Structure 1
């Protein structure tokens, strides 16, 4: 079960004018709980004017050994009007304590030999930095092609960290950078990494048939465009892994069937169950939270996947889904924050 613990801030490193990296100290008694796979994320929470605010940030540091990490590092980019990102950039200092959830997320890679690739935009580099650094350190027979898009060199997060990786693994890390608002002295011309450009570019960069896994991370438009380009080039959907950081106006992911007028939800959470009536208009997560405040969630926007639950029985409508892979929904998993009951009884299991 995901749990929050207070962790102390050990370092605040300015990456760009609008982003920082926060390093958190993990005490010995909590290291096992904060073991993480490369690519997972943390939810951070604080109270603003009496309201709890949670935000999810990916871990950029390499995955730890079996004992767990003594430190965790996350990247935070400022979002205009963001309640947590503004606080992170302007107020958080060394020695402060932050409420941090234990790691979650399935945008991960188990290190193995072979060729892997990523297409990232902006802060989408954060989880991929953990994936690349862990893979190349642990698996000497692995190679990685990193294709990243940013506005300008000055706005590029983890510029030095990626350059250090390239210097460390010059034969095994292929780095391709595209800037949309700035010309480079060498490399590719400026412009956005959209579907058309990627369709033309990717076959020239990597042997598509040899790539064991593609990792797409960043804004909704970039991830969707990259997926369409890859599928159009014949890449099997099972080899494509996605994590979306920002969704401005993406479409609803499923139909608009009306919710049941009178419904109850039965939920199993941390070994205990309960049954409660669903109030009109609320999601199943909201129903569960009214009765079990320890239910896991972070973004409530269908993006992070923290509230994933197994649909044991009944039917639901998901308004949006930007977190679950097709095989997960086929297996019966739903996002509780986006699910509304279509039957009078619905049963969820958060423990599976």
Structure 2
């Protein structure tokens, strides 16, 4: 998933940072709710002693981990899902429960597990919240006006962002443009309708179905750059929007980004999170246990170490051989969980769908996609 810039526009903020980022705790599944035929919502109970660690900013995500069955020979499976429940008040206790939406992916090992096997009362390993696709309502300017363009399960973080903002800032407005295949496949219909009922004058909802005609509203079809460039100025004063949140498949996000650029929106006002990227990258070279290619020094939770990087190996995999607690989730350059600051040396990233240009210019890299170019490389996960 892609993230917002480290120095974003008014109303966005750096996330609440736990003392040990990347740490897992075991939480109990309080409920499993069927949203559509191919999506469910998992509610996770947070015990009082862990609520401070699971305090989150609206828009952050959780990484869920499924350990392999003993003797299966398989590695653990990690998947990242955005928190859709509102963020807790800044001056109150942490959340007593967290809710995430899980869309079934064809061949998806964790999503199939969530749909077919997880039940209330089960225990799940859950990483503390992470992510920079966030909005801080307290930092929003007076009479702030935000907008989001989402596709499919991209509604999940934006639902938390909109609900938290509208509840805590009576002067704020939010416009949601959402695209789904059909009404039957639309996640969180009731939750979004509830926002419209509670805030009729401050919450604007526009729904576009790509494969189904609606009785009222916009005609069906894909939300691409050209259509958004014509649609958005008719919906709201584009130049006056405080911040834009784009979330969903790669094609929708890039199309929306290009439409906003064509409408004169400053790039610093646009925040992105990508939920799915077609895997067009060449296969990574297999690491050789004999050959080495440089050394990496990594700082994590206040402790540093130096280890060899094998030929073809990423910095993350080199660190994981000695530090199993190194933070990661997708290992595909999408979620940004393994973001680290490049202290010294030079690296090459295979792909990057998680860091903004401002972040890479500031020296941040994705450890899962980075390979050493210089003999010595130092990274810092704690920045």
- TM-score, normalised to structure 2's length? 0.88
Residue 231 of structure 1: how far off its partner (Å): 0.6
Residue 58 of structure 1: how far off its partner (Å): 0.3
**In the alignment, which residue of structure 1 is the partner of 2:170?**
140
**In the alignment, which residue of structure 2 is the partner of 1:104?**
130
**In the alignment, which residue of structure 1 is the partner of 2:121?**
95
Structure 1 unaligned segments of length 5 or more: list them: 253-259
Residue 47 of structure 1: how far off its partner (Å): 2.2
Which contiguous aligned blocks of 4+ residues in structure 1 show a shift greater than 3 angstroms?
A: 249-252
1:1-352 matches, within 5 Å, as 1-2=20-21, 3-48=23-68, 49=72, 50-65=74-89, 66-111=92-137, 112=140, 113=142, 114-249=144-279, 262-352=293-383
Residue 263 of structure 1: how far off its partner (Å): 0.7
Residue 261 of structure 1: how far off its partner (Å): 7.0
Contact 1:148 1:178 survives alignment (8 Å): yes
1:88-135 CA-to-partner distances (Å, cap 9, x unmatched) read: 011100000000000000000011240000000000000000000000
Contact 2:294 2:375 survives alignment (8 Å): yes
1:269-294 CA-to-partner distances (Å, cap 9, x unmatched) read: 11110111100111100000011110
Structure 2: distance between partners of 1:230 and 1:175: 19
1:166-190 CA-to-partner distances (Å, cap 9, x unmatched) read: 0000000000000000000000000
Contact 2:82 2:157 survives alignment (8 Å): yes
Structure 2: distance between partners of 1:206 and 1:339: 41
Residue 325 of structure 1: how far off its partner (Å): 1.5
Structure 1: distance between partners of 2:60 and 2:345: 30
Residue aligned with 1:198, SS: helix
Contact 2:292 2:309 survives alignment (8 Å): no
Residue 330 of structure 1: how far off its partner (Å): 1.2
Name which structure has the greater RCO, CA cutoff 8 Å, separation 6+: 2
Structure 1: distance between partners of 2:107 and 2:315: 28
- TM-score, normalised to structure 1's length? 0.96
**In the alignment, which residue of structure 1 is the partner of 2:3?**
none
Residue aligned with 1:188, SS: coil
Aligned length: 345
Structure 1: distance between partners of 2:354 and 2:170: 31
1:1-54 CA-to-partner distances (Å, cap 9, x unmatched) read: 221000000010000000000000000000000000000000000123331100
Structure 2: distance between partners of 1:165 and 1:156: 16
Contact 1:220 1:250 survives alignment (8 Å): no
